Structure 1
Amino acid sequence: MPPSSASSALSEALAPPHDVATSQDVATSQKYDGTAPFPDDDCREPTRSGAERLYVTVTALIVTLPFLALGLAGWLLWGRLIHPTDVLLALALYAVTGFGVTVGFHRGLTHGGYRAARPVRIVLAVAGSMSFQGDVIGWVATHRRHHAFTDRPGDPHSPYRYGTHLRGQLRGLAHAHVGWLFRNDPTPAERYAPDLLADRDIRAVSRAFPALCVLTLALPFALGWAIGGTWVHAVTALLWAGLVRIALLHHVTWSVNSLCHVIGQRPFRTRRHDRATNLWPLALISFGESWHNLHHADPTSARHGVDRGQIDPSAALIRLLERLGLVRDVRWPAPDRIAARRT
């Protein structure tokens, strides 16, 4: 597809839908008051005052305790069921697949924050697919739909689906984090990602998703065997650099869907009902994706962390690729554009 056609298709995909399949979502979202449960869920419950502090505390415990337990297990098992090779492989594969999601799937393919040379586009799509987060076209379509209906009816993973009272918010956070994956709520790629369906290379990567899932597990197993020389090293590499690495990246990505719409700062204006926040503790491990408020204020910006001290590794990688001549037409944030969006 020519660049001009791709840009046109991207703009159309991100515009408010007008077809029959989504017109009901549009009409419903226009009536949404920002506090009630979404109309398609029979989950109305009484509002309780003073709930915010409680659900934030409960959510923080749910999110942090598994990671603390994982760190404790690693310390206890060091030298027995975890080896230095496992950690190095896990870090390397976490970076490769994580950047595949953030730089490839998200800032490039979903939002058109830059234009990449064909080999770079393919490599990033393959790396993102190895994150086990779904095929590239489905991922992009779902995320574009999220931006079209952020935190209102039609959003596939809003934490406000069940309302803003205590039980609704707790249930909504679980839904936004992982529950939405189990709902029968398909996003039509024909509507939200027509540009990718027209891209021969991306279609091939999308079809290869099952094989890439096998590869992302086979690779640490093979490298563990080659480096350690025993099946024990192969199995521990599969465990830590394969399964645990995938699980960690999953939960970091899902935390952007859930926590970064509930907890944090909102220095920039977003659309009505859009509650995207900046959550600094996730910045490094999400490669800059948790500067989510700016992203929703200016979705096509290639950099999300725009203020002093806001580390954004994904933007740094895009900058490096730009200097190497591998990406071009990067949409860096302009100072006047940023200033106009501040609250």
Structure 2
Amino acid sequence: METLVCTTPGHFAYQQAEKPELTPGHTLIKIKRIGICGTDLHAFEGTQPFFNYPRILGHELAGEIVALDDAPGFEVGEAVTFVPYFNCGKCVACRAGKPNCCTSIKVSGVHIDGGMAEYISVPSYSLVHGDGLSFDELALVEPLAIGAHGVRRAGVQPGDVVLVVGAGPIGLGTMEFARIAGATVIALDINDSRLAFCRDRIRVDHTINALTENVTERLSELTNGDMPTVVMDATGSLRAINAGFTYLAHGGRYVLIGLQKGEINFSHPEFHKREATLMSSRNATRQDFEHVISSMKNGLVEPTTYITHRVQFDEVMDQFESWLDPQNGVIKAMVAIN
């Protein structure tokens, strides 16, 4: 089978590999769609902190079951996605119902080879029913689940004012699920076209451009001086993360979905006097995947609006670097394999 390997930062190569064989407790999937996410882009740039090369990228995946073992309720030929964070089931996090932050987690396309290939073998416990969704929609469940998990971590509820920093795909999904939870949502970014997407396509209440507006003054204006009760970073930018501490309401919650390699710096007195809560949000759980699928089926989310670029698998190597350029207007690139 053909695979696409990120050999070193900035370089891809198509390589032939043996089609995986069915092994006990696993399911073999023929890949149909691959969504390109920030993790893939950062791996290509060499800025992803949990990464080794060479690696087959790809964890926003949809496909068709071709063989299976120990997968009750699933059938050959069924359209599926899967939870791509493979966990041990035994560590302190797994025992606490948090397999998304397992101490020995193996994320498809990050710690182990992913789905930029014609076939992939996954643990059968990770399978998620397609439930009538298209392959395009199924490939978008995982990135939307990241935002849904962050919103659940923050305990967002009606009456909250949620500031989401970063209007990339993960930030957009976070905004969607904060809106679904009943919050007033504010989007903060430096890209006018992405902010327009927030207003026009996903019904965000307010947008702020950090390059052209005074963020603190505008937030105070929009919240009658209270400031946002929840701030969620989806940038992975150290500068943006550090600035986010200053935007919090007293008693507020700050959730870091974005990831970067550096050290966070903030004023302890300012944080302390707010009795603020700081938390990270890593990956997602089956509960989040099911919430996303239900939201799609009930028309609360229109996932295919995210897809701005489409390519065939044999075009990825030539196109990939262009998706790093904000001028190209990429929200979500979707790869099809026949």
TM-score, normalising length: structure 1: 0.22
The structure carrying a bigger strand percent of its residues is 2
- Taking structure 2 as the reference length, the TM-score comes to 0.22
Quick one: higher RCO (CA 8 Å, sep 6+), 1 or 2? 1
